[in-house]
């Protein structure tokens, strides 16, 4: 795994940020932290351990702040905390480094393409001071790929020296294309990614912003489902949460609630029919406890819809609606079993992603924003600001988009804790 970070050249300008201490490029964050034996640790270090470069302000910087025009773009679906990141970037650029020209490009990567005619917005401390109170993004967003050459043309037209791309997997892939086009032209425009995904599925990034807010808000829906389930004979509450490839939101919401009986995620297979299947297990609970609460992640159970190559504007495979499918399957199953049930289905997805960040996420967004600015001012490029072992890192975009992070049931203490909390079987497949 090549974690070396690209830099345009030697940093010769004394940083005006005036911090009391700085982070050196030689400061590293070790990749692996758990070893079963002392010999294993010594062997790991001895053979040349894998490290990430630590993020943070550098004592000397590459770009002269007086000559810098910075750009910010937000892409993909909405997520709590985007405005906090925008605010953090603007404040750090302006107050710490003295950068006075900051442009926000509206509607995602469309804002970097001339034909869409979206005029950039001048951002300053006054007009971003209170945007964290609102959900969404003041720059708006869009999905879909744009031509990298057209985007770099726009950056060059406005004299942009650093571009901050706030978005998920698709956004980071677009940022990589922009980097390639900049390299092809031999220009020096720093491209820094700030990973945004409620699903928390960016590779080698411990946590993404918006995740804490998302599962906290999801808990409200789960608690409502519990009330509904307890409030009717044989009540069953079904809540669908986000998670195309990973079940982190679903699992965390279930653990926080402690009223969830079953949590279905993309990483763990399950069947609906046959002895030992999910519906068979659910039937036994209804017969003994007379109610149940179920969380299902949107990417779970996609095998029930067959294979499809249809994709959305971001290039993601379109998913079947497992929430509605599960609700209908439960009703049909119990009807055939001649057991009357009351099924209540809740899908809070758009509510969850549109709210402002909670205090924890808001603080986290500020850290990400500041470290993104530090990296750009030091002339670094082609990287994502991440966090690993609770330390902020510089992660090459190539590694971030290499694959999606997923929960590993056979190795994860999170999943083991979930099984203990819900009491569900580790496997619900037909015998």
Binding residue positions for ATP: 77, 143-144, 168-171
Residues 159 and 141: their CA atoms lie apart, in Å, by 22
Residues 297 and 385: their CA atoms lie apart, in Å, by 27
Q: Are 141 and 166 in contact (CB under 8 A)?
A: no
Q: Can you give the pLDDT at residue 314?
A: 63
Model confidence, pTM:
0.92
CA angle 91, 215, 90 (to 5 degrees): 10
β-bridge partners, 105: 73
Q: Could you tell me the CA-to-CA distances from 300 to 161, 242, 264 in Å, in that order?
A: 42, 10, 6
Residues 6+ apart with CB under 8 A from 11: 58, 60, 61, 62, 378, 379
Q: Can you give the pLDDT at residue 121?
A: 97
Q: Are 326 and 356 in contact (CB under 8 A)?
A: no
What are all long-range contacts of 94-99, with beta carbons under 8 Å and residues at least 24 apart?
Answer: 94/124, 94/125, 95/125, 96/16, 96/17, 96/18, 96/373, 97/15, 97/16, 97/17, 97/61, 97/65, 97/68, 97/373, 97/377, 98/16, 98/65, 98/66, 99/65, 99/68, 99/70
Catalytic residue among 199, 271, 347, 382: 199
Residues 12 and 34: their CA atoms lie apart, in Å, by 38
Q: Can you give the pLDDT at residue 313?
A: 65
Closest CA to 327 of 349, 303, 343: 343
DSSP tag of 113 = S
Residues 69 and 355: their CA atoms lie apart, in Å, by 30
β-bridge partners, 292: 236
Q: Can you give the pLDDT at residue 48?
A: 67
Residues 42 and 63: their CA atoms lie apart, in Å, by 40
Give me 329's structure tokens. 């399957």
Q: Are 22 and 67 in contact (CB under 8 A)?
A: no
**What domains, with CATH codes, occur in the chain?**
6-208+357-400 (3.40.50.450), 212-354+410-422 (3.40.50.460)
What are all long-range contacts of 24-30, with beta carbons under 8 Å and residues at least 24 apart?
Answer: 24/58, 24/59, 25/53, 25/58, 27/53, 27/54, 27/56, 28/52, 28/53, 28/54, 29/53, 29/54, 29/388, 29/389, 29/391, 29/393, 30/389
Residues 6+ apart with CB under 8 A from 415: 251, 268, 407, 408, 409
Phi-psi region of 415 (alpha: psi -120 to 50; beta: other; left: phi over 0): alpha
Place of tokens 């070893």: 35
Residues 417 and 19: their CA atoms lie apart, in Å, by 42
Q: Is 312 a catalytic residue?
A: no
Binding residue positions: 77, 143-144, 168-171, 197-199, 242-244, 298, 350-353
What b-and-e string marks burial along 180-198, b requiring 16 or more CB atoms within 10 Å of the CB?
Answer: ebbeeeeeebbbbbbbbbb
Residues 386 and 195: their CA atoms lie apart, in Å, by 7
Residues 55 and 395: their CA atoms lie apart, in Å, by 9
Q: Are 2 and 53 in contact (CB under 8 A)?
A: no
Give me 72's structure tokens. 């910010």
- Consecutive 10-residue runs of the chain (431 residues): their mean pLDDT? 93 95 92 76 70 96 97 95 98 97 97 96 97 95 92 97 95 96 97 92 91 90 96 97 92 94 97 96 97 97 86 75 97 97 95 93 97 98 96 96 90 92 96 86
Q: Are 190 and 373 in contact (CB under 8 A)?
A: no
Binding residue positions for substrate: 197-199, 242-244, 298, 350-353
Q: Are 178 and 149 in contact (CB under 8 A)?
A: no
Closest CA to 167 of 177, 157, 153: 177
Q: Are 5 and 53 in contact (CB under 8 A)?
A: yes
């Amino acid at each position: 795994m090549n974690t070396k970070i690209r830099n345009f050249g030697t940093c010769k300008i004394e940083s005006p940020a005036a911090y009391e201490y700085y982070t050196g490029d030689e400061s590293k964050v070790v990749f692996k932290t758990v070893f079963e034996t002392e010999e294993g640790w010594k062997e790991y270090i001895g053979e040349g351990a894998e490290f990430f470069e630590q993020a943070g302000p550098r004592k000397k910087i590459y770009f002269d702040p007086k000559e810098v025009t910075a750009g910010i773009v937000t892409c993909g679906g909405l997520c709590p905390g985007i405005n906090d990141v925008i605010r953090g970037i603007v404040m750090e650029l302006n107050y710490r480094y003295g950068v006075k020209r900051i442009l926000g490009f509206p509607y995602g990567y469309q804002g970097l393409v001339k034909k869409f005619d979206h005029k950039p917005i001048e951002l300053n401390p006054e007009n971003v001071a209170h945007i964290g109170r609102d959900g969404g993004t003041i720059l708006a967003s869009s999905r879909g790929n744009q031509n990298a050459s057209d985007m770099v043309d726009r950056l060059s037209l406005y004299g942009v020296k650093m571009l901050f791309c706030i978005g998920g997997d698709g956004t980071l892939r677009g940022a990589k294309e922009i980097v390639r086009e900049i390299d092809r032209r031999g220009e020096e425009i720093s491209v820094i990614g700030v990973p945004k995904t409620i699903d928390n599925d960016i590779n080698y990034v411990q946590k993404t912003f918006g995740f804490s807010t998302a599962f906290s808000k999801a808990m409200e829906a789960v608690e409502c489902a519990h009330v509904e389930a307890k409030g009717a004979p044989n009540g069953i509450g079904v809540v669908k949460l986000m998670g195309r490839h990973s079940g982190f939101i679903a699992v965390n919401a279930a653990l926080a609630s402690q009223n969830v009986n079953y949590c279905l995620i993309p990483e763990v297979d399950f069947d609906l029919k046959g002895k030992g299947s999910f519906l068979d297990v659910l039937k036994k609970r209804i017969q003994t406890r007379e109610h149940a609460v179920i969380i299902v992640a949107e990417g779970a159970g996609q095998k029930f819809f067959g294979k499809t190559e249809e994709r959305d504007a971001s290039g993601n495979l379109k998913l079947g609606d497992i929430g509605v499918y599960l609700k209908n399957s439960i009703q049909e199953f119990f009807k055939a079993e001649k057991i009357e049930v009351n099924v209540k289905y809740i899908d809070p997805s758009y509510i969850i992603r549109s709210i402002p960040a909670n205090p924890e996420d808001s603080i986290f967004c500020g850290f990400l924003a500041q470290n993104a600015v530090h990296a750009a001012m030091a002339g670094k490029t082609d990287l994502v600001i991440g966090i690993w072992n609770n330390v902020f890192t510089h992660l090459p975009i190539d590694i971030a988009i290499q694959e999606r992070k997923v929960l590993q049931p056979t190795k994860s203490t999170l999943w083991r804790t979930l099984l203990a909390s819900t009491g569900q079987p580790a496997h619900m497949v037909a015998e």
